[in-house]
Amino acid sequence: AYSTAKGGIASLTLVQAAELGRYGITANALAPSARTRMTEQAFADKMATQGAEFDVMDPANIAPCVVWLGSAESRDVTGCVFELEGGKIMIEDGWREGPAIDKGARWEPAQVGEAVERLLAERAAPRKVWGS
């Protein structure tokens, strides 16, 4: 049920982007990988922080992309599902992984735009949705 719900969010994002774009409304989704109460127990080895110079699973690593998406700089970005983990930003390509950039450290919100521009240039052109 969890995976089905996530797939529904991704599909809804694509449809919203196509249908609301004519009104200047953008729609994007996040697929974050970070430490939570649920993941700490389910994926204990992956969530461990001992000996790591950079805490890849720190939830704060997700915030810079969220800040950037809420800014005017992202006004032309729509219909994207961003997979975020540590210093990695990836734009999903349907049910496959798309282009990715891994900084190996936490991003600053001001750096996210340039990274997303590069990823958008590298990805396959999205298919037109009927009615758009």
Active-site residue set? 2, 6
Stretch (H or E) spanning 14? helix 2-20
Q: How far apart, in whole angstroms, are the C-alpha atoms of residue 4 and residue 116?
A: 27
- What string of DSSP letters covers 109-123? HHHHHHHHHHHHHHS
Q: Quickly tell me which residue has 């049910």 as its tokens.
A: 95
Strands 80-85 and 28-33: parallel
Residue 54 in 3-state DSSP? coil
